[in-house]
Structure 1
Amino acid sequence: MVAPPGAAPPPARRRRALPLVVLATVLLLVLAGAGLFVARPGPVAGWLGEGTPEPTASPAPPEPDPQAVLAAFDPNAPAPTPDGVRAALAPLVGQPALGSRVNVSVADVATGKSLFAKGEDAPTVPASVTKLVTAVTVLEARGPAYRIPTRAVAGAAPGEVVLVGGGDPTLAVDGDGFYPGAARLDNLAKQVREALGGAAPTKVTVDSTLYPGPVLAAGWDDDIPVEGFGARITALMTDGARVDPVYARKHHEETNHAAERSSEPDLLAGRAFAKLLGVPAGKVAKGKAPAAPASPAATGTPAPGSELGKVESLPVIRLVDIMISDSDNVIAEALARQVALAQGKPASFAGAGAAMDAVAGELGLPADELDLSDGSGLSRKNRISPSLLTDLLALAGNGRNPELGAIFGGLPVAAWSGTLDERYQAAATSAGAGVVRAKTGTLTGVHAIAGLVTTADGRLLTFAVLTDQTVGSLDDSRQALDRITSTLATCGCR
């Protein structure tokens, strides 16, 4: 966020030279760890073990060899020149579909040298490209292996169990949750029953006080919690606050990941937990857990505040992967609050914004070009400069901070995965297919893209293109952005 008057100035931007061999290693390791294929799919059903098809009278022709998806890059490839990149991109940044404000940064990954700059230091509305900042700062603040806990403790009254939210947005009720591998309330309930030694709980209290509120961010459009791309953000929720996670999981592609969200995510989770414990829904209420006792109770009855059970989320590295690949707004807000907690700040929208700003500054990024009202990019009050994004992408791949390389595993691949799955299909943009890896961002009137691209000569570049005053159609604006990055893929620009 912008530094307050009298505060120490943010650190100057440090352009980092990136050894391509190191970046190649990071990318390959991350992609392998994320389980991403690097070839176009063939007979997918067979790959997934769905059995051998019945023989037919006429045998089918053999499948063609897979088409390469991720282009290789050459550490000895000739570097583009600023004049060459300018000649290629200048006509494209003025496309009418991009509107009246187009801010761009393109840099060479090996040297950190700027190759094209237009409003590169101007804070611009980033939309979901914000998630790149959230990803890097939470990986730095918490580390890739950190897991978010959800706990159950003994309440102050006999038979009372307090469910304490730690901020895990992927928590499931049981094995039918939306997020594969998520922590589960049924497992927590089993621990509670064992800890109580057969004593039946009579009340469930929901403690979601870790997040002080508000539950909606400044700058969010009114339809965000209603239309299902966001939710009210509470420290306790199940399945990203989805009301029907089974339906949402089965139909998320056709609904573009939208789903009905609960107006009270913490109470929804508490009622599900109560049902697992055999407690009536009418005996569920919000409250606060007692402080943990200094020593265990002398009798067999757990002392108020003593832990009855705990489950933990997927590791942060996996949550980051889901957040980026699916552009999951609720996970983004939860991870932003983990940055706040690690920094000792309130786990609120404001606290998270201040914490991410602080961590970005510690990493040497230009914190004066960053002002965040949320961690997902849904807020129209967010501002990020294109050059901060190209610096951030370079920082994540330079090998000096290997934990930050996790952001590459989830970056969508053009015409292949995530939010780029159906893009780069037109003749004017198809050269970027399999060559561009990027995070996208979209709000009404706002379109952005930031990521990596390999040139025709095999040189690796990082780019960020942010527009926040578009007036054309969604498809036209996206294709205009894709033409810019596809042009980088086809040109030696020398």
Structure 2
Amino acid sequence: MGVKDGGARKWVAAVRRRLLSPVLLVIVLVFLSATVVLGMVPGLLTTPAPTPQIPAWQQQPSALSDANAVLPLDTDAPIPVPEVLARLLDETLKPSGAGSITGVVMDGSTGQVLFDREASANRIPASNMKLLTAVAALKALGPETRFTTRVLAGSDPSTVVLTGGGDVLLGAGASNTAAVAGRAGLASLAKDTAAALASAGVKGSVSVLVDDSLFNGAPLNPAWSLDDVAAGETAPLFSLALNSGRYSPTVATGPRPQDSAVTTAQAFAEQLAAAGVQVSPGVERGKGIPAKVLASAESATVSEQVDLMLETSDNFLAEALGRMTAAASGHEATYDGATAAVRQRLGELGIATDPKQLQLADVSGLALDNQVSALHFAEVVRAITSGPDLSLRTALDGFPVAGLTGTLDDRYVDAGTAEGAGLVRAKTGTLNTVIALSGYVVDADGRLLVFSFIGNGLEPGAAANKVAMDRSASVLAACGCRG
């Protein structure tokens, strides 16, 4: 409230006091006296103990809101003393067995490095790779861009062509404008197609084709382990898919469609039949007439898809966003085109992209051939939180919140890590012997800190080393770190 609003409230209160009748005052006094005598409000007779004042940014949120900026920040807040911070992190940031953990902590406002443990060393980053993909997609495509799935008329009037536009989050049912996954639905697309066919006077059986030619190259990345593919970590990539390449939106593991384009077209044919169109059996690949659009449906925005990718660590969605980034950056929409586009967009942010410093085999983080340093990730996080490109701020909502959302929802619940619950916001990364955590936190003094920790060669595996990461991030949340 401004000064004028405060003055108005005081004036209204004064008027009310003057208008309060003597009779009403008597009633109020009698009621209060009786209440005191009955002992119902003993708090009125004593002075309550002062409530400890905890800064707003150190209170665990009761509800999550959109984060389009990191607030509150005090430019005069003290910066942690590097020697003190190093002493604390050396106690927590260590593997439980074999392997090593590198890391870096930077002041978000100035970029000053406050902690450096081999921060420039190349490491396998696991799903922290998605942070690079996020900023590249936002820069190349723009936060508000949507992907359009179209139904085109074929050269034969009795043929319709489901044409992929990069939306791999299609839903089987009606379009849900409040959703990210399922924002565009096949049932709505089929209903609109049926109406267009009826309006054009098309009668009899209709054949369904699918055009997935937007993406080029091999659907499966040769850098991936076939065991990871078989386990359902990802699937062959196409330019349209249901449920991010899954059979069901509620089942995130296990077998996945090996040809999501055909699977999606078959589901569309079923919805078209449900809309009253006689549909010929079978689905084949083909192309439609671009000028003859029978129906279309738009995806969620790029920023919404980026947030979902980061929060849930969705590998299939990451690779689809990578292909769309490649196409928008003048590269072929292939796996190599996606990594080239990510490298290009990072360079535009002033982040080092020399192949000796940055080796990219995919854009989701499944590939063991990826080599990225903790410093790279800290610089990317800082670009999101504090950099001059405001379009990157839209990625803030995608960072999982410790103990509350996404891939951090079941962490930060034990002694030693609970201090970071609700405060630490970070992208996770996990492979068998790899674990990573990169994100940001506003410390106890109101200073924004960005960090990245990466463990490689971990034995016992990555799961046993999560606590080291979480305790270290919690140290930053609780940090004054000045002595």
Using structure 1 for the length normalisation, give the TM-score. Answer: 0.77
Question: What residue in structure 2 maps to residue 312 of structure 1?
Answer: 298
Q: Deviations over 1:241-287 (max 9, x none)?
A: 22233xx2xxx5xxxx3254112211111111122333546331122
In the alignment, which residue of structure 2 is the partner of 1:433? 421
Gaps of 5+ in 1: 1-65, 294-305
SS of structure 2 residue aligned to 1:351: helix
User: Percent of counterpart pairs with the same letter?
Assistant: 37
1:450 aligned to which of 438, 443, 447: 438
Aligned to 2:152: 153
Secondary structure of the equivalent of 1:389? helix
Residue-by-residue CA offset, 1:366-416 (whole Å, 9 max, x unaligned)? 112332222211111222211111111111122521110111112111112
Are the structure 2 counterparts of residues 347 and 180 from structure 1 closer, same or farther at C-alpha, using a change threshold of 3 Å? closer
* Alignment partners' CA distance in 2, 1:472 and 1:338: 38
* Structure 2: 5+ residue stretches without partners: 1-55, 62-70
* Contact kept? 2:174, 2:184, Cα under 8 Å: no
Shift of 1:130: 0.9
- The one-letter code sitting in structure 2 at the alignment partner of 1:396 is I
Aligned length: 406
Q: Give the SS at the match of 2:238.
A: coil
Q: Which fold has the larger relative contact order, with Cα–Cα distance below 8 Å and residues 6 or more apart in sequence?
A: 1
Choose the corresponding residue for 2:59, options 62, 68, 75: 68
Larger Rg: 2
Q: Which of 376, 381, 384 is the equivalent residue of 1:388? A: 376
- How far apart in 2 are the matches of 1:147 and 1:96? 44
Aligned residue number for residue 46 of structure 1: none
Residues 384, 268 of structure 1: alpha-carbon distance in 2 compared, 3 angstrom cutoff: same
Deviation at 1:213, TM superposition (A): 2.8
Aligned equivalents of 1:94, 1:242: Cα separation in 2: 37
**For the residues of structure 2 that align with 1:244 and 1:113, how far apart are their CA atoms?**
46
Indicate which of 256, 260, 264 corresponds to 1:265.
Answer: 260
Check whether the contact 2:240–2:264 (CA below 8 A) recurs between aligned residues: yes
- 2:220 counterpart of 1:216: yes
Structure 1 equivalent of residue 47 of structure 2: none
Matched letter for residue 127 of structure 1: A
> SS at the partner of 1:413?
coil
Q: CA deviation at 1:223?
A: 2.6
**How far has the Cα of 1:73 moved from its partner?**
5.0
Q: Tell me, what secondary structure is at the counterpart of 1:240?
A: coil
**Structure-to-structure mapping, 1:87-102, within 5 angstroms:** 87-97=87-97, 99-102=98-101
Deviation at 1:202, TM superposition (A): 2.1
Question: Does residue 403 in structure 1 map to residue 391 in structure 2?
Answer: yes
CA contact (8 A) 1:193 1:199 kept: no
**TM-score, normalised relative to structure 2:** 0.79
Per mean C-alpha deviation after superposition, the further-off stretch among 382-391 and 271-280 is 271-280
CA distance in structure 2 between the partners assigned to 1:387 and 1:239 by the alignment: 34
- For residues 401 and 336 of structure 1, what CA distance do their matches in structure 2 show? 19
1:119 counterpart letter in structure 2? E
Identify the residue that residue 357 of structure 1 maps to in structure 2. Answer: 343
**SS of residue in 1 equivalent to 2:458:** coil
Deviation of 1:206 after TM superposition, in Å, equals 0.9
Confirm or deny that 1:491 pairs with 2:476: no
1:84 pairs with 2:70 = no
**1:180–1:209: structure 2 CA closer, same or farther, 3 Å change rule?**
closer
Question: Counterpart in 1 of 2:27?
Answer: none
2: CA distance, partners of 1:136 / 1:418: 19
Question: Is the 2:133–2:318 contact (alpha carbons within 8 Å) kept by the matching residues of 1?
Answer: yes
Q: Which moved more, 1:469-478 or 1:359-368?
A: 469-478
* Residue 103 of structure 2: aligned partner: 104
CA contact (8 A) 2:174 2:188 kept: no
Q: Distance in 1 between matches of 2:72 and 2:161?
A: 53
1:423 counterpart = 2:411 = yes
Task: State the alpha-carbon separation in 1 of the partners of residues 329 and 78 from structure 2.
Answer: 43
CA contact (8 A) 2:142 2:391 kept: yes
Query: 2: CA distance between counterparts of 1:269 and 1:344?
Result: 28
Shift of 1:158: 3.6
Aligned to 1:167: 166
Partner of 1:188: 189
Letter paired with 1:214: A
